[in-house]
Amino acid sequence: MATPAKIVDWRLPTVALVGRVNVGKSRLFNKIVERNLALVSDIAGTTRTRNIAVASWRGKQFRLVDTGGLTFSETVPLETDIIKQTELALKEADLVVFVADIQTGILPQERELAKRLMKRGEKIPIILVANKADTKEMYSHVHDREWRSLALGEPLPVSAANGGNVGDLLDLIYSKLHTRSKRPKQIKETEPIKVAIMGRPNVGKSSLFNALIGEERVIVSPLPHTTREPHDILVEIDKQQFLFIDTAGIRRKAKVSGELERIGVGKSIATIDKAHIVLLVLDATEPITDQDQQLAGLLREHTKSVIIVVNKWDQAEDNTDAFRNEVKNDIYAAFPHLAFAPIVFTSAKTKYRVHQIFPLLKEAWQARQLVLSDEAVRDFLKRTVRQHLPTRGKGVRHPRIVAMHQLGYNPPMFEIIVKSNTSLHISYVHFIENQLRREFGFFAAPIVMKLSKLKHHTYAPR
């Protein structure tokens, strides 16, 4: 039986930012963590899934959670899911920062949220923040009777936009956390395997994300573009840590609608550079599209290890090995530049074969770190050339490979040095790459091949 994944206990106190829509929670989140992790927009409902990051103040760390803005309206898309995500954040919280807008004052949504917080019965400290106090003149508004009517204590005026009083807020957070039983501890310095989950909209990325981490951490909905920003969580299985990153669905630029989606897609593409391995998710119920192919090409350009996940396999017309092999052949024909990527058939909905992804990720990570000795590379080159002589490229002379060595790893990179005035045909470079895989594996990893010409008559091998 497969070992279940578990959310890593960061052993850090947790601070949750809550409030109605458009009060500036995400901007405050970014200001505190000192990174633009959360999307910021005037459009209501920009934040749907919790954003989680580690913040530091006065030498101590804490987890900061940004939640979706609440409207308490049944007509708002995904409002029920956003409330559910907020409830999960409150359940984990050691401290709640209730964010309101000093410029608009207290609205019915604030009163409803305050009432719900008071009903929880848990003695979790609450800090009331009056955000958007962008000028000193606005500070006096916190003395208005409407703020006292929330019964949450004296509000602290801050400005997430210009940083006003954010330091005072962090001092207050620090003092309240310091008196609680949980003591901040540093996160493990061991780097986890970073895994990005990518694909076009509605292929089941968020469902797969939730299935992998073992809980509903991300909102899953048939509504396209439910996920608007990358979202990550650290999990551990068999003593190996994985940082899973869920990303917004990527479409062609011509089909990207609205500022939010453009920003979300940009963040998703930027996520590729931060990941070690990418799970490219395809929909088993639909044919491969041009967008799937473009995304696959983007992954090859970024030299990331790739595992292709065919999701929704529970809805496939056939479950025989013969049909699987037929689908594999179709995928490799559509993605010839990802011929190195293994394919796994899953159903995030039923959890079918989701457990198979973890050992594949471990193997892919180990292969990405593989470094061959100079002796092993020299021996490999001799045997390969003996088996099949180099084919001529654009040069007028028959090529002669003088040397070959590994330049680096993560991803594996090799240099082939050929005699001057000769050229090596690209097909022979691919042949060497295939032979490297046949002998040494390099599972799921792209191999970067660099061609150089010998500029001198002699060459001293490394």
Q: How far apart are CA 185 and CA 8, in angstroms?
A: 13
Residue 421 CB neighbour total at 10 angstroms: 11
Is residue 393 predicted with pLDDT exceeding 60? Answer: no
Is residue 242 predicted with pLDDT exceeding 70? Answer: yes
Q: What is the pLDDT of residue 440?
A: 93
> What are the CA-CA distances from residue 49 to residues 82, 200, 209, 216, 461 (Å)?
7, 19, 13, 10, 54
Q: How far apart are CA 336 and CA 317, in angstroms?
A: 25
Residue 186 CB neighbour total at 10 angstroms: 12
Which residue would you say has higher pLDDT here, 156 or 182? Answer: 156
Do 374-453 and 193-368 fall under one CATH topology?
A: no
The model's pLDDT over 253-277, given as tens digits with 9 standing for 90+, comes to 444 444 433 433 455 566 677 788 9
Q: What is the pLDDT of residue 121?
A: 56
Q: What is the pLDDT of residue 439?
A: 93
CATH 3.30.565.10 fits 374-453, yes or no: no
Phi first, then psi: give them for residue 7, nearest 5 degrees: -70, 130
User: For residue 154, is it left (φ>0), alpha (ψ between -120 and 50) or beta?
Assistant: beta
CB 197 within 8 A of CB 276: no
Q: How far apart are CA 407 and CA 411, in angstroms?
A: 10
Q: What is the pLDDT of residue 188?
A: 40
Q: What is the pLDDT of residue 47?
A: 41
Q: How far apart are CA 461 and CA 458, in angstroms?
A: 10
- Six-digit token pair at 103? 């410029």
Report the topology of domain 193-368: Rossmann fold (3.40.50)
The model's pLDDT over 53-80, given as tens digits with 9 standing for 90+, comes to 778 888 788 888 888 766 555 544 445 6
Pairing between β-strand 6-7 and β-strand 231-237 as defined by DSSP bridges: antiparallel
Domain boundaries, the chain: 10-178, 193-368, 374-453
Q: How confident is the model at residue 403 (pLDDT cuts 50, 70, 90)?
A: very high
pLDDT above 90 covers a percentage of the chain that reads 32
pLDDT above 70 covers a percentage of the chain that reads 74
The model's pLDDT over 13-44, given as tens digits with 9 standing for 90+, comes to 889 898 888 888 888 998 898 766 544 434 34
Pairing between β-strand 6-7 and β-strand 51-57 as defined by DSSP bridges: unpaired
Choosing among 3.90.226.10, 3.40.50.300, 2.40.30.10, 3.30.70.270, the CATH entry for 10-178 is: 3.40.50.300
Is residue 82 predicted with pLDDT exceeding 50? Answer: yes
Q: Which of helix, strand or coil describes residue 117? A: helix
The model's pLDDT over 89-144, given as tens digits with 9 standing for 90+, comes to 777 788 889 999 999 888 888 888 888 787 765 678 889 999 999 998 888 888 87
Packing angle, helices 290-301 and 258-274, rounded to 10: 40
CA-based nearest residue to 108, from 71, 157, 138: 71
